[in-house]
């Protein structure tokens, strides 16, 4: 696993993301949310927990399709932007310490956030804890062997960098091991290449991100 760390504490991490969300926000192409929807297979009106929701782009997608959502993030500024769009309920919380009961959600998502936690293993354990025995979690994580980053390393000598307060990149095998040790079983794995379909000419192991459909072990 490759790690780049600029924040050492929860307060430092929250401050970094508050600064980021005060001037910008993150989101993905709708094609990603379509993939997540297919993997979740939610029943009509089901409740979905989004851990690390940011400004709430997935909430808008899910709510437009009739789902109930609970979204949480450690950034006050991110939740302000989500609230301004009328998305809720929203919860200020740390992903490693979810203020939720055991087995309280049948559907859970964590899309491009676990790698930025202070302790991703603890965060993964929390995802498993709040998931019901028959539930589904969809987790998206970045690949340390992404084809674009390998090319960048060849040209510049620099490794992957998403310019976050904490960045981590790992192989498919490494992420699977982390999820498994946390109590999650990977039932299916898909790739996300920022919507660039032509990237599928490269092997799965060179994908930009891995999108895992998980259940409790």
Domain-wise residue ranges, the chain: 2-216
How many helical (H) and strand (E) elements, i.e. helices and strands, does the chain have? Answer: 7, 9
CA distance 168 to 181: 18
Could you list the pLDDT tens digit for every one of the 217 residues in the chain? Answer: 999 999 999 999 999 999 999 988 777 889 999 999 999 999 998 999 999 999 999 999 999 999 999 999 999 999 999 998 777 799 999 999 999 999 999 999 999 999 999 999 999 999 999 999 999 999 999 999 999 888 777 788 788 888 899 999 999 999 999 999 999 999 999 999 988 989 889 999 999 999 999 999 8
Residues 89/68, Cβ–Cβ less than 8 Å: no
In 3D space, the residue among 139, 156, 149, 192 whose CA is nearest the CA of residue 28 turns out to be 192
Two structure tokens written together for 153: 């390393």
Two structure tokens written together for 58: 């997935």
**Which residues, in sequence order, are CB contacts of 11 under 8 Å at separation 6+?**
none
Two structure tokens written together for 132: 């019901």
Residues 167/1, Cβ–Cβ less than 8 Å: no
Two structure tokens written together for 126: 């929390």
Pairing of strands 68-73, 90-92: parallel
Q: pLDDT per residue over 143-202, tens digit each?
A: 999 998 887 777 887 888 888 999 999 999 999 999 999 999 999 999 999 889 898 899
Q: What is the CATH number of domain 2-216?
A: 3.40.50.150
Two structure tokens written together for 85: 């769009």
């Amino acid at each position: 696993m490759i790690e780049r760390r600029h924040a050492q504490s929860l307060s430092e991490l929250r401050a970094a993301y508050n600064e980021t969300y005060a001037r910008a926000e993150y989101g993905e192409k709708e094609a990603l949310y379509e993939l997540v929807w297919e993997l979740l297979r939610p029943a009509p009106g089901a409740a979905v927990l989004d851990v690390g929701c940011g400004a709430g782009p997935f909430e808008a997608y899910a709510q437009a399709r009739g789902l109930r959502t609970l979204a949480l993030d450690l950034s006050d500024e991110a939740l302000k932007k989500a609230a301004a769009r009328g998305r809720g309920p929203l919860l200020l919380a740390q992903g490693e310490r979810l203020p939720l009961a055991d087995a309280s959600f049948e559907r859970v998502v964590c899309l491009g956030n676990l790698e930025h936690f202070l302790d991703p293993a603890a965060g993964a354990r929390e995802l498993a804890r709040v998931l019901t025995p028959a539930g589904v979690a969809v987790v998206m994580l970045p690949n340390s062997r992404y084809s674009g980053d390998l090319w960048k390393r060849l040209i510049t000598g620099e490794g992957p960098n998403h310019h976050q307060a904490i960045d981590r990149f790992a192989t498919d095998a490494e992420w699977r091991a982390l999820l498994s040790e946390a109590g999650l079983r990977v039932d299916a794995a898909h790739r996300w290449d920022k919507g660039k379909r032509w990237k599928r000419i490269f092997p799965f192991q060179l994908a930009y991100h891995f999108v895992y459909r998980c259940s409790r072990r």
